[in-house]
Structure 1
Amino acid sequence: MQQGPEGGSKHIYMEVSRQIGSMAAKGARVLEFRCVVSELYIALRTILIASVTSLRCRLQKRMLTKLLNALDAAAELSTTDRLDEVIHNMVEVGKSIGSNSSVEELLAQQNLLVRMLKKMNRLLEEEEACKASCALCSIEFLERIARYVPSSTVPIWKHMKASIINFLAWSDSRVSEHACWLVTTIIDGDWVKQWSENSLEKKKFWKNFFALLQADSLQAQRLLEEMFTFPGSVTLLFSVTDDFNVESTVAKHLCCAIRHKQLNNSNLFPLVSYFSEMVCVLKDNSENESFLCTLRRLVKAFCLATSDDQSPYFSVRNNFALTIGAVDLLRQIDELAKSGIEIYKRKRDFDNGINGGNENPASGLKQCLVRLIANLTCEHHGNCDLARKLGAVPILLESTKLDCCNLFMTQWAIFALRSMMKEDSGCRDIISSMKPTSDVRLD
């Protein structure tokens, strides 16, 4: 029954009709008669479906042609009436694309859809010449196409992505945020991989998206949260920008994703590599607050990941590169502080709050770092042994004296030292061999 409506199905219909007439003339049994009637019903149904499909294709083609004409007229002179005509025709075409439309029907109109998207992009490139209502309607229309047209249909999706970039760049927040919503509805793992390619189009997309994210766009934040759920997204996000202000914002939302267990587990280990790279260039950026803010938020993200032994991210403690990076960072901070550059004590902390009585105790880089080392060494012999060999014990001990006014830091330093002494005999030997540098007084 898979033959076309114009040939096979009609032939079946004629053949079944002939058989019915022949059997009726011969007085055929009822069961045989029912079987033939059933075949006739299937044949008629096939013809009817094919006829409806053909009619729907013709209607879609007619509506798309009307939309193309309306877009041409609006591109020539974008008056309110002409833009309203575009909206009206776009709504009509959108209604015809739905659950009742087969993929084959849509692909039959592929050339018209591509032409329509090209003209729509040309019209919407100039924000001043186009109404926001037309842009919003276009976004809804694109979402409709994206829902029913396979992503493997390259020509259509190519022009749809160009449309998304245009919409993200609009200064009208309604349009740009709605564009983020559109991306959120269509994004998947393959989409994330495709946007990692280094091209002018991709760079423009990320530039526009990060601008929205920096402006605290709610839909941009939701899109970022959705990205975090896919493997490889964190590596991608930190590779497509070299602006530490942007990276700091991404790291802030990364902390939230870990706290709410929204981050794909595979993203943490590449993040360790990025953290290690940042530690290596600390000396060159010790006065760059955006860099330090990004670094502190990364440390905080690892603190959150290693605080709960029931967390899906707890296994990151087994990545010794994280322990090496954390201790190396602590050592560098200690050396910079002794040279007069106290990067973890500023008049304003990295969350733009004023230091003082109301200061968030977890706001400083060193404070988060000491906490991270405490988390990494808790009941983990390998990390305790590694931290001792890297020279963490003297620095942690010194922190309890130099930063004695910061109870948050001293308590975590003591916790880390206790864990290291419990798990590693070498740590016990180091501490037992030490002598006090001044008289010890017990109050």
Structure 2
Amino acid sequence: MAAPRPPPARLSGIMVPAPIQDLEALRALTALFKEPRNRETAPRTIFQRVLDILKKSSQAVELACRDPDQVEHLASSLQLITECFRCLRNACIECSLNQNSIRNLDTIRVAVDLVLLFRELRAEQEALLTAFRCGLQFLGNIASRNEDSQAVVWMHAFPELFISCLNHPDRKIVAYSSMILFTSLNAGRISDLEENLNIAINVIEAHQKQPESEWPFLIITDHFLKSPELVQAMYSKLSNQERVTFLDVVLAKLMAEELLAPDEVTAFLRHAELLAGSFVDQCRTVLKLMSESDTEDEEVLATVRLLDVLCEMTANTELVGYLQVYPGLLEKVIDLLRLVHVAGKDTRDLFSTSGSVDTGEVSSAADGFKSHLIRLIGNLCYKNKDNQDKVNQLDGIPLILDSCRIDNDNPFLTQWVVYAIRNLTEDNIQNQDLIAKMEDQGLADASLLKKMGFEVEKRGDKLILKPVSDAPQSE
């Protein structure tokens, strides 16, 4: 493709300044590079010319950084810079040849330096923001599917560009810098984030502020969650609000239709250890929910979300075996269920039973908490005789049965009780006998047992707990 001719030096007898000629030529190139065939035939000399214009225009930005009074005179330079970036951005779209040519001219270093100057200016000009955004888009495009360009972008951009841009007030700048980070990261560069945890934390914060943006979410799921070392180092530094955001992403990953890949399973076993330990250490913080004034406590919300994650982890056949033997987890869950259950009976707090079914939206951190405790107990006892017996020894079975009542703050509570009791009694005669004796002594409601799919039959001197023919299916 031949380079477009610059506009004539005179138009209708009026001299045309060189910057205007450059701007018009750049706009023509930008339009041409929208077509794949033009991108594929572009000569290297065009990119050298664009780089020369970019370097020359950046001098005005450098001057404005030294002398703030010069900021108001940046308009024409910013126009040129913006069009240079647009031109280069378009030239890199699905064209490794152009990516390589532009990279070999050292354009990435010039672009990164200029973007950092933009952040230093901190001027509230739409033209500046536009140039800023286009510069980031160019860096994202030149790195896309090009490992050599990714390495050069990382070399020049990390860590300053990400430190400068991930917490920028402009949402597009945050999104575009997240795109660059996602594109450039690989397993070998994750260790760099361990030494710059603020960048990883800024990604969590970016997702918290912009949940609709795909790039921060993808950075967490496709990069962070594959590195147990990074997650462990980062988690301890997160605020409780940031932990809730991070745990929401973990939940989304666990609940996705795609199964965890083998390398992800290995990483998630380490995550399970971290999160189970955190829950064991801080689970009693949820008792603050006994006071209405503490319902917004962020530490409580983080603990509630930990429980949600552990429920999903123990629903995963690859992870449940590890958590079933995690020291102290089952004991803590039963202990917490007992405290919550007693509190709900004795006081009119957030754990007290509502007594009616409500189809409205759940709004309190306590909503579903008891259900999830019972679900977790059921999961931890799934085909695990030691845990079945441990629940019996801790008097957990009467506690679970007593929890089976209508409660609009705990949707599906009855179903999870049924599920837990089934897992507690499967191939466990001792637990079956305990429930049968409870019914015989009036400690377990026969109609309640029937609703749960069980009935007690007397055979000679023995009481047998057996499923009724129309027993409901477990969740």
TM-score, normalisation: structure 1 = 0.69
Please point out which of 408, 412, 422 is paired with 2:412.
Answer: 408
Kindly provide the amino acid, as one letter, of the partner of residue 270 in structure 2: P
Q: 2 CA distance for matches of 1:279 and 1:63?
A: 56
User: Contact 2:279/2:306 (CA < 8 Å) preserved in 1?
Assistant: no
Q: 1 CA distance for matches of 2:241 and 2:325?
A: 23
Please point out which of 239, 243, 246 is paired with 1:243.
Answer: 239
- Corresponding residue for residue 52 of structure 2: 65
Q: Are the structure 2 counterparts of residues 150 and 106 from structure 1 closer, same or farther at C-alpha, using a change threshold of 3 Å?
A: farther
Give the 5 Å matches for 1:177-192: 177-191=175-189
- Corresponding residue for residue 454 of structure 2: none
Give the 5 Å matches for 1:47-86: 56-77=43-64, 78=71, 79-86=74-81
* Per-residue Cα deviation, 1:199-254 (whole angstroms, up to 9, x for no partner): 3xx41x234323322224311x5532453245525663464133121111222232
Asked whether 1:253 is paired with 2:253, we answer no
Q: 2 CA distance for matches of 1:324 and 1:210?
A: 30
User: Contact 2:308/2:372 (CA < 8 Å) preserved in 1?
Assistant: yes
Kindly provide the amino acid, as one letter, of the partner of residue 316 in structure 1: L
Q: 1 CA distance for matches of 2:441 and 2:75?
A: 82
* Per-residue Cα deviation, 1:407-440 (whole angstroms, up to 9, x for no partner): 8334422432232222223434555676977677
Q: Are the structure 2 counterparts of residues 258 and 410 from structure 1 closer, same or farther at C-alpha, using a change threshold of 3 Å?
A: same
Kindly provide the amino acid, as one letter, of the partner of residue 429 in structure 2: S
Give the 5 Å matches for 1:214-253: 214-219=208-213, 221-225=214-218, 227-230=220-223, 232-233=226-227, 236-237=230-231, 239-240=233-234, 241-253=237-249
Q: 2 CA distance for matches of 1:333 and 1:113?
A: 55
Deviation at 1:370, TM superposition (A): 0.8
Please point out which of 192, 207, 211 is paired with 1:213.
Answer: 207
Deviation at 1:367, TM superposition (A): 1.2
- Corresponding residue for residue 195 of structure 2: 198
RMSD: 4.0
- Corresponding residue for residue 13 of structure 1: none
Kindly provide the amino acid, as one letter, of the partner of residue 232 in structure 1: K
* Per-residue Cα deviation, 1:368-410 (whole angstroms, up to 9, x for no partner): 12112223434x1xx2322423557622322322553438334
Kindly provide the amino acid, as one letter, of the partner of residue 168 in structure 1: L
- Corresponding residue for residue 370 of structure 1: 374
Asked whether 1:167 is paired with 2:165, we answer yes
Q: 2 CA distance for matches of 1:421 and 1:284?
A: 28
User: Contact 2:371/2:412 (CA < 8 Å) preserved in 1?
Assistant: yes
User: Contact 1:139/1:178 (CA < 8 Å) preserved in 2?
Assistant: yes
Asked whether 1:327 is paired with 2:330, we answer yes
Q: Which structure has more helix as a fraction of its residues? A: 1
Identity of aligned residues (%): 14
Deviation at 1:146, TM superposition (A): 1.2
- Corresponding residue for residue 270 of structure 1: 270
User: Contact 2:103/2:149 (CA < 8 Å) preserved in 1?
Assistant: no
Return 5+ residue gaps in structure 1 as ranges. 1-52, 308-312, 350-354
SS at match of 1:275: helix
Q: Are the structure 2 counterparts of residues 148 and 102 from structure 1 closer, same or farther at C-alpha, using a change threshold of 3 Å?
A: farther
Q: Are the structure 2 counterparts of residues 216 and 147 from structure 1 closer, same or farther at C-alpha, using a change threshold of 3 Å?
A: closer
TM-score, normalisation: structure 2 = 0.65
- Corresponding residue for residue 398 of structure 2: 397
- Corresponding residue for residue 29 of structure 1: none
Asked whether 1:300 is paired with 2:308, we answer yes
Deviation at 1:255, TM superposition (A): 2.0
Q: 2 CA distance for matches of 1:283 and 1:433?
A: 33
Q: Are the structure 2 counterparts of residues 432 and 151 from structure 1 closer, same or farther at C-alpha, using a change threshold of 3 Å?
A: farther
Q: Are the structure 2 counterparts of residues 324 and 387 from structure 1 closer, same or farther at C-alpha, using a change threshold of 3 Å?
A: farther
Return 5+ residue gaps in structure 2 as ranges. 1-39, 65-70, 289-293, 448-475
* Per-residue Cα deviation, 1:56-97 (whole angstroms, up to 9, x for no partner): 455433432321121121232342212112112233444555
* Per-residue Cα deviation, 1:348-377 (whole angstroms, up to 9, x for no partner): 99xxxxx96636599332311211222343
Q: 2 CA distance for matches of 1:164 and 1:440?
A: 60
- Corresponding residue for residue 109 of structure 1: 105
User: Contact 1:276/1:325 (CA < 8 Å) preserved in 2?
Assistant: no
User: Contact 1:214/1:249 (CA < 8 Å) preserved in 2?
Assistant: yes
Kindly provide the amino acid, as one letter, of the partner of residue 370 in structure 1: I
Q: 1 CA distance for matches of 2:58 and 2:147?
A: 25
Kindly provide the amino acid, as one letter, of the partner of residue 385 in structure 2: C
Q: Are the structure 2 counterparts of residues 356 and 324 from structure 1 closer, same or farther at C-alpha, using a change threshold of 3 Å?
A: farther
Kindly provide the amino acid, as one letter, of the partner of residue 412 in structure 2: F
- Corresponding residue for residue 282 of structure 1: 282
Kindly provide the amino acid, as one letter, of the partner of residue 377 in structure 1: C
Matched residues, number: 370
User: Contact 2:44/2:101 (CA < 8 Å) preserved in 1?
Assistant: yes
User: Contact 2:58/2:114 (CA < 8 Å) preserved in 1?
Assistant: yes
User: Contact 1:248/1:294 (CA < 8 Å) preserved in 2?
Assistant: yes
Kindly provide the amino acid, as one letter, of the partner of residue 217 in structure 2: L
